[in-house]
A = this chain, B = another copy of it.
Amino acid sequence: MPSLRTPKGTVDFHPHDSKLIDSILSICKRHFNLHGARSIDTPTFELLSTLTNKYGEESKLIFELSDQGGDVCALRYDLTVPFARYLAQHRVMKMRRYQIGKVFRRDQPAITKGRYREFYQCDFDICGKYVPLLADAEVIKIAVDILKEFKIGECVVRLNHRRLLEALFMKVGIESEKMNAICSAIDKLDKMKFKEVRSEMIAKGCTLEQTREIEELVGITDLEEVRRRFNEINGAYEQMRDCVEDKRSDCEITQNQKNSKDSEHEIDEKRDTCSAVHGAVAKESETVRYVQIANKAIDEIKALMEFLKTFKVHENIRFDFTLARGLDYYTGIVFEGCYTSYPDVGSVVGGGRYDNLVKRFCKNDVPCVGMSVGVLRIFSILRERETRACDTQVYVMCARTSCLAERMELVNELWENGIEAEMNMGTRSDVYEQREYARKSGIRVIVTVGGDEMSRGGVSMWTEEGEQEVKREDVIAHIIRALERR
């Protein structure tokens, strides 16, 4: 006998679970459709080359297919990279699309925490060139509306800007090639203490001094305070610039007079001044650059906040300088939403702007912003609520005599009237057992065919209000009324 289990990190979803997941996905779909989204469906596996070099250090978690001849393939890791491939391949420049599907990660699973190797993603993205930040606002608006819809309590969307983090890293002197790795370390701050994150940052090439500086700055919660801190540093450099400015003329003279008759010594001296000035100017312009980047990012966050106010969801939004998002491909706004009463569950929606991903596949410039709903995390919160596993409204029971044909005719009439119904398919007529099945299934109308009533042309109908005998030809009408009353 083969071993009776599912592969590591995967589970079977039983009827109650499956129905709940379906209802979560329906709510998401309804919101996406409300915003005019188009759905697409891409293959479960992609060419391995499509996925390579897109996920940074997470690439090692990609599930590959066996080489059985033909294409070398891998299971999709998310729905975003396949979407970028889709946009590039079909030369789409503008689209609002949603996609729901399973994605696969060879991660260490933690089923009880809702971390699986196979899980649903439910994505909405807007691509194309529009009024800046407007698409970002609509995406976040939808995220908030979806979270509110589940009535789980207060939800908060934290947001940040990748370019603001970049400016921070420039400010503390981290080389650009290390930034993505440091970003993915910072992103763990919601789950880990700063001490642990600091070790990871040092392992990834930060100095202790740099981690301290980062810790202090990312702790600031007020956006204008962040701006002030960046501009203040700029102010300090302004003094240096004045001082540099005095020597600049010397330097320029040197450049112009290279072939003049100054003594060797004089030229050397001027050259030294010149190179000192150049160094200072480079450092200064670097500073100016990251201060500019920071200011632009802050302006964008502010503009976004304005739009979110117009869309009436601003009360659920907070700036959070520690939010980074793990994946490499983000280039602008990033956000994550969670329920404040469920801090352990973590973020239940997340997303951001990724303007350069399509360019990895083609020459088209297709800026994108999108989000992914954490269906199984919402599921892990909602599964405590009582749900039904089926839609059955009426159970057609078997009495002492079997009366199979009569029961089949009745259940068939119910189906014809669009009423969800099941019949006892056996010949056993244990009343208690059948009622118990109906009760457990949440079925609240039971019709019995084949008792004494039958000789009088009647059937017995049981609801919460009691049992009554009704004429066979009137039973459908009675059932419809009973169902309407509820």
Do A421 and B18 contact each other (CB < 8 Å), given the known contacts A2-B361, A42-B6, A427-B131?
Answer: no
CA distance A128 to B68 in the complex (A): 38
Pick the contact of A412: B11, B310, B421 (CB < 8 A).
B310
- A104–chain B nearest beta-carbon distance, Å: 7
Q: Which residues of B contact A131 (CB under 8 A)?
A: 404, 425-427
Bitwise interface map of A from 30 to 48 toward B, beta carbon under 8 Å scored 1, else 0? 0001111111111111110
**Cβ of A73 < 8 Å from any Cβ of B?**
yes
Do A392 and B36 contact each other (CB < 8 Å), given the known contacts A5-B47, A426-B129?
Answer: yes
Q: Which residues of B contact A310 (CB under 8 A)?
A: 405, 408-409, 412
**Cβ of A420 < 8 Å from any Cβ of B?**
yes
**Cβ of A353 < 8 Å from any Cβ of B?**
no
* Contact B65 A40, beta carbon cutoff 8 Å: no
Interface set, chain A 22-76, CB cutoff 8 A to B = 22, 33-47, 49-50, 52, 63-68, 70-71, 73, 75
Pick the contact of A64: B12, B65, B102, B421 (CB < 8 A).
B65
**Cβ of A422 < 8 Å from any Cβ of B?**
yes
**Cβ of A342 < 8 Å from any Cβ of B?**
no
CA distance A360 to B1 in the complex (A): 7
**Cβ of A432 < 8 Å from any Cβ of B?**
no
**Cβ of A14 < 8 Å from any Cβ of B?**
yes
- A327–chain B nearest beta-carbon distance, Å: 18
CA distance A332 to B217 in the complex (A): 72
- A225–chain B nearest beta-carbon distance, Å: 28
Q: Which residues of B contact A4 (CB under 8 A)?
A: 85, 88-89, 361-362
Closest to A130 in B: B425
- A401–chain B nearest beta-carbon distance, Å: 14
What is the size, in residues, of chain A's interface with B at 8 Å between Cβ atoms? 94
CA distance A260 to B368 in the complex (A): 99
**Cβ of A8 < 8 Å from any Cβ of B?**
yes
Pick the contact of A35: B63, B86, B404, B415 (CB < 8 A).
B415
**Cβ of A10 < 8 Å from any Cβ of B?**
yes
* Contact B63 A68, beta carbon cutoff 8 Å: yes
* Contact A38 B390, beta carbon cutoff 8 Å: yes
**Cβ of A118 < 8 Å from any Cβ of B?**
yes
Closest to A425 in B: B130
Bitwise interface map of A from 396 to 411 toward B, beta carbon under 8 Å scored 1, else 0? 0000000011001100
Most buried by B among A67, A422, A427: A422
Pick the contact of A422: B35, B39, B145 (CB < 8 A).
B35
**Cβ of A3 < 8 Å from any Cβ of B?**
yes
* Contact A412 B15, beta carbon cutoff 8 Å: no
Interface set, chain A 408-450, CB cutoff 8 A to B = 408-409, 412, 415, 418-422, 425-427, 441
Q: Which residues of B contact A485 (CB under 8 A)?
A: none
* Contact A18 B41, beta carbon cutoff 8 Å: yes
* Contact A40 B63, beta carbon cutoff 8 Å: no
* Contact A36 B390, beta carbon cutoff 8 Å: yes
- A8–chain B nearest beta-carbon distance, Å: 5
- A92–chain B nearest beta-carbon distance, Å: 9
Q: Which residues of B contact A85 (CB under 8 A)?
A: 2, 4
* Contact B8 A426, beta carbon cutoff 8 Å: no
Closest to A37 in B: B390
* Contact B311 A42, beta carbon cutoff 8 Å: no
Closest to A120 in B: B41
Q: A residues touching B (Cβ–Cβ < 8 Å)?
A: 1-8, 10-15, 17-19, 21-22, 33-47, 49-50, 52, 63-68, 70-71, 73, 75, 85-86, 88-90, 96-97, 102, 104, 106, 118, 126, 128-131, 134-135, 138, 141, 145, 307, 310-312, 360-362, 389-392, 404-405, 408-409, 412, 415, 418-422, 425-427, 441
List 8 contacting pairs A-B, 8 Å CB cutoff, sorted by A: A12-B86, A14-B40, A33-B390, A33-B391, A36-B391, A44-B102, A44-B118, A311-B408
For the complex of A and B, the 3 pairs showing the least CB-CB separation, nearest first, are A15-B38, A36-B422, A36-B392
